[in-house]
């Protein structure tokens, strides 16, 4: 198992399913754009938060 698979598994274990889904794409973007590790993690967390906020809004409606 390679590093990206390990990270995806950890994200899934933490129920960060959206971050796990976009991990490959964001890792590729990070490599091409030269993001720092912090920028990369922040982008993953933004994806997860976006989905959580949408679920919350739909629940309120």
Residue 7's pLDDT is 97
pLDDT exceeds 90 at position 15:
yes
Over residues 18-36, the mean pLDDT reads 97
- At 48 the pLDDT is 94
SS3 assignment, position 36: coil
Q: Taking each helix axis as running N to C, give the angle between helix 17-33 and helix 37-60, from 0 to 180 degrees, rounded to the nearest 10.
A: 140
DSSP label at residue 57: H
Q: What pLDDT score does 12 carry?
A: 97
Q: What is the pLDDT of residue 61?
A: 79
Task: Round to whole Å and give the CA distance between 25 and 35.
Answer: 13
């Amino acid at each position: 198992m390679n590093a990206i698979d390990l990270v995806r598994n950890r994200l899934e274990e933490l129920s960060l399913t959206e971050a796990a889904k976009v991990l490959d794409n964001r890792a590729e973007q990070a490599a091409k754009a030269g993001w720092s590790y912090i920028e990369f993690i922040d982008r993953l967390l933004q994806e997860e938060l976006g989905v959580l906020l949408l679920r919350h809004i739909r629940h309120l409606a």
